[in-house]
Amino acid sequence: MYPEPLVMPMKQELISTGFEECLTPESVDKAIAQSGTVLMVVNSVCGCAAGAARPGVKASLQTSKKPAHLYTVFAGYDVDAVTQARKHFAPYPPSSPAIALF
């Protein structure tokens, strides 16, 4: 598990953009079950997340058409929530970062 001081700025990058954290498996299920389009991002400390995923997701929201709901989980930190999110991503294999529309 990654240390909190390392993870928090990376979490905040999406939260400050309007994403809501899912910290438990139940919150993941509740988020995905909502009506309307749900964007779920598996955030990560890796360079792929920093260099492409977070900037790309943020850029994708700079348009008039946006998903109704924005959620995120953090790999290597919110372990149970990430495991639950990845169950919904099936049949795609686990990856960090990862992005899915429901």
Positions marked catalytic: 46, 48
Q: What's the half-sphere exposure (Cβ side, CA atoms, 13 Å) at 56?
A: 12
Q: How far apart are the C-alpha atoms of 99 and 3, rounded to whole Å?
A: 23
Q: Which three-class secondary structure state does DSSP give residue 31? A: helix
In DSSP terms, which residues pair with 71 in a beta bridge? Answer: 20, 40
